[in-house]
Amino acid sequence: MNIRFVIALLFFITSQSYVFGQDKLTCDCSDSLDLPHIQYCTPFTLKTGEKLYYQYDCDTLWLTLERENTKTIIFSEKCSYYENSYEKPYLFITEFDKYILFARFCNPTCTHYLVEKATGKVKEIISKLIFDGSLPNGKTFDIVISFVDDNYDKLQIYRTNTDNKTYNLIKKVSNPIIYPESSFNIELYKWKNNILWLGYKDYTKKRSKVKYIKVKLHI
């Protein structure tokens, strides 16, 4: 999923202060804090009109969701937590009609969070995610797919438009990588005849054949 994170990182651009609506965003610290990941204060407008933006001062970093005249802080933590740390705040991955998908704790794999646009609250915490609803050709689905547990032989298919969960048993994914979900790559994904093919390979080898998980979807 590395390409998705490159896109996500483009969402957060270094800046000091912005005037957003009638409010000036707080994006400044006079102290010399070593916060390599905290350099984001550019408002971002979602397709459905809501706005997201990080703010920070010398003490706290927080992420705000603004809709109409309501502002909700989705996430807030002390800046000291991120000093000289590989941990990252919530990274925007994609959006659905009802939810925003974020990733966090990406070291080495990520935990994903579905946040409700209507409330700003976390609806679902997803680990071992392998499909965020996007294909390399730009086609999107209101679906996220993840492994259920460390056995890697069962998938959870979460339909974000209905909050419906279904489960598929699959042949166990065997991979020498400690976290098999990291061997999946969006560039290898395919969609044909209502079947989603999720491709993965062993990236520890120079020559490794692509293998696929077959997921039949009724869209």
Compute the average pLDDT of residues 67-75.
89
- Evaluate the CA torsion angle 103, 105, 108, 113 in order and state its sign: negative
d(CA 95, CA 65): 13
**Length in residues, the chain:** 219
What pLDDT, on the 0 to 100 scale, is given for residue 17?
34
The order of strands in the sheet holding 129-131 is 129-131, 143-147, 154-159, 164-169
The residue ranking higher by pLDDT, 99 or 81, is 99
Compute the average pLDDT of residues 124-134.
95
Q: Give the list of residues 6+ apart from residue 17 with CB closer than 8 angstroms, or none.
A: 24, 25, 26, 27, 28, 41
What pLDDT, on the 0 to 100 scale, is given for residue 40?
61
Is the pLDDT at 59 greater than 60? The verdict is yes
Conformation bin of residue 133: beta by default, left when phi > 0, alpha when psi is -120 to 50: left
What pLDDT, on the 0 to 100 scale, is given for residue 130?
96
Q: Residue 203 carries which DSSP code?
A: T
The residue ranking higher by pLDDT, 40 or 44, is 44
Compute the average pLDDT of residues 55-76.
87
Compute the average pLDDT of residues 183-192.
93
Is the pLDDT at 2 greater than 50? The verdict is no
d(CA 18, CA 7): 22
Mean pLDDT, the chain, rounded, equals 80
**Among 30-44, 79-93, 185-199, the least confident range:** 30-44
pLDDT class of 214 with cuts at 50, 70, 90: very high
pLDDT class of 199 with cuts at 50, 70, 90: very high
Is the pLDDT at 22 greater than 60? The verdict is no
pLDDT class of 33 with cuts at 50, 70, 90: low
What pLDDT, on the 0 to 100 scale, is given for residue 107?
72
* Gyration radius (Cα) of the chain, Å: 19
Compute the average pLDDT of residues 76-105.
78
Could you tell me which of 180, 186, 181, 216 has the C-alpha nearest to residue 199?
186
